[in-house]
């Protein structure tokens, strides 16, 4: 029996490679986590056809961000919901073989590292 002041929730384990979607998009890089996801957080798990880093890069792409922004703007309410089944699952994206995904992730990671280094230098200088 659930106490009347309690809220029932579904506990979804966050594991290595999960992609967490909330206000900021994050890729889980830790092996052991014990988090409870709120209803304002979406957890995506990759399958064997896609690298989690590649899926993460797709979700951060201008195309996907613009699509999700458009969907959010057409919704009403203070917190427009974007759900997996109705908004993310129907999206069509290019999914190359894993070797190509790995090369793409490598290039993007290199660029992001340089950007982070430049931000750190700028923060130090100013």
In this predicted model, what pLDDT tens digit does every residue of 69-92 receive, in sequence order?
Answer: 787 777 776 666 666 667 777 777
With a threshold of 0.75, does the pTM exceed it? no
- Extract the tokens encoding 80: 């427009």
- 63 domain residue, yes or no: yes
DSSP per residue, 18-70: -EEESSSEEE---SB------TT-EEE---TTS-HHHHHHHHHSHHHHHHHHH
Tally of structural domains, the chain: 1
Q: pLDDT, tens digit, for every residue of 21-39?
A: 655 555 666 555 555 555 5
Query: Which pLDDT does position 121 carry in this prediction?
Result: 93
CA distance 47 to 21: 17
- The verdict on residue 79 lying in a domain is yes
CA–CA distance, 5 with 15 (Å, rounded to integer):
30
Q: Is residue 1 part of a domain?
A: no
Q: Residues 11-24, buried b or exposed e (16+ Cβ, 10 A)? A: eeebeebbbbbeee
- Which of the pair, 108 or 94, is modelled with greater confidence? 108
Asked if 35 and 54 touch (Cβ cutoff 8 Å), the reply is: no
Structural domain range at position 56: 19-125
Q: Look at residue 97 and tell me whether its pLDDT is greater than 60.
A: yes
| Average pLDDT for the chain | 73
13 inside domain: no
């Amino acid at each position: 029996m659930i106490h009347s002041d309690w809220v029932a929730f579904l506990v979804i384990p966050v594991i290595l490679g999960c992609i967490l979607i909330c206000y900021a998009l994050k890729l889980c890089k830790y092996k052991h986590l014990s988090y409870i996801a709120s209803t304002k957080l979406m957890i995506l798990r990759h399958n064997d056809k896609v690298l989690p880093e590649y899926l993460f890069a797709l979700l951060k792409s201008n195309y996907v961000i613009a699509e999700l922004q458009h969907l959010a703007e057409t919704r009403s309410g203070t917190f427009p919901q974007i759900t997996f089944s109705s908004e993310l699952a129907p999206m069509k994206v290019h999914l190359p073989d894993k070797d190509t995904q790995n090369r793409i992730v490598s290039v993007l990671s290199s660029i992001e590292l340089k950007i982070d280094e430049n931000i750190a230098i700028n923060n130090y200088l100013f």
